Amino acid sequence: MKISARNVLKGKVKSVSHGAVNSEIVVELPGGAEVVSIITKTSAEQLKLAQGSPVYAVVKASNVMIAID
């Protein structure tokens, strides 16, 4: 796989929660950190995502905001 995004995080699916239109995918990264993605239910089904599936979380953003209290 070749992709232009620089932030590609390898992990495994911790959970999949399907809604009527979208699915929430929780990806567990090495070390235990988690990334949550909302994708279409159709995409989740086509990718055959299930608990334990190896996946890549790809982050492509032109801005990363930082906030403090």
Assign 1 a pLDDT band (cuts: 50, 70, 90).
confident
Produce one character per residue of 34-57: b if its CB has 16 or more CB atoms within 10 Å, e if not. eeebeeeeeebeeeebeeeeebeb
How far apart are the C-alpha atoms of 12 and 50, rounded to whole Å?
9
pLDDT tens for residues 11-67? 999 999 999 999 999 999 999 999 999 999 999 999 999 999 999 999 887 777 778
Compute the CA torsion angle 7, 10, 11, 15 (nearest 10 deg): 50
pTM: 0.86
Check residue 51 and give its pLDDT: 97
State both tokens at 47. Answer: 């990718």
Domains observed in the chain: 7-59 (2.40.50.100)
